Amino acid sequence: MSEQIKISVYEVVGSGLCVASDDGQKVYDRIAAALREGRKVKLSFLNVDSLTSAFLNAAIGQLYSEFKEEEIKSNLTVSEMVQDDLALLKRVVETAKEYFKDPERLFAARREAVGDNDD
């Protein structure tokens, strides 16, 4: 079994148009499943043409509701992103960290994540 799992955003979404929150959710589901298995994830943005904060909030920002910052930092890497998209991702990550600083939000989110996993 491979220790690092490579996820192609283009393959998950089915196109280079990565703008919808629902499509971001599909990417999140794959990353979260791999991280829960203790794997490292390399997320490839090869052939992605358009990105929005709505997509990245769902795909990556949401990870901070379930995983600790250190865990994400050491287990998730991104590749083949152009500079503009990297800058957008950085903003999304900063916003997510700020969003989940609210302990009530974080508690509610983690409770929901645990509930989802129990289903």
Q: Which residues bind another protein (CB under 8 A)?
A: 15, 17, 19-25, 50-55, 57-58, 61-62, 64-66, 69, 72-73, 76-79, 81, 83-84, 86-93, 95-96, 98-100, 105, 109, 112-113
Cβ proximity to another protein, 37 vs 77, nearer residue: 77
CB of 48 to another protein, least distance (A): 12
CB of 98 to another protein, least distance (A): 6
Q: Are 53 and 91 in contact (CB under 8 A)?
A: yes
Q: Are 56 and 92 in contact (CB under 8 A)?
A: yes
Cβ proximity to another protein, 1 vs 50, nearer residue: 50
Closest of 12, 54, 63, 61 to residue 35, by C-alpha: 63
CB of 3 to another protein, least distance (A): 18
Residue type at 50 in one-letter notation:
S
- CA dist 41 and 91 (Å) reads 20
Cβ proximity to another protein, 1 vs 119, nearer residue: 119
Residue 93: CB partners within 8 Å, gap ≥ 6? 60, 61, 64
Cβ proximity to another protein, 3 vs 84, nearer residue: 84
CB of 11 to another protein, least distance (A): 16
Structure tokens at 13: 């979404």
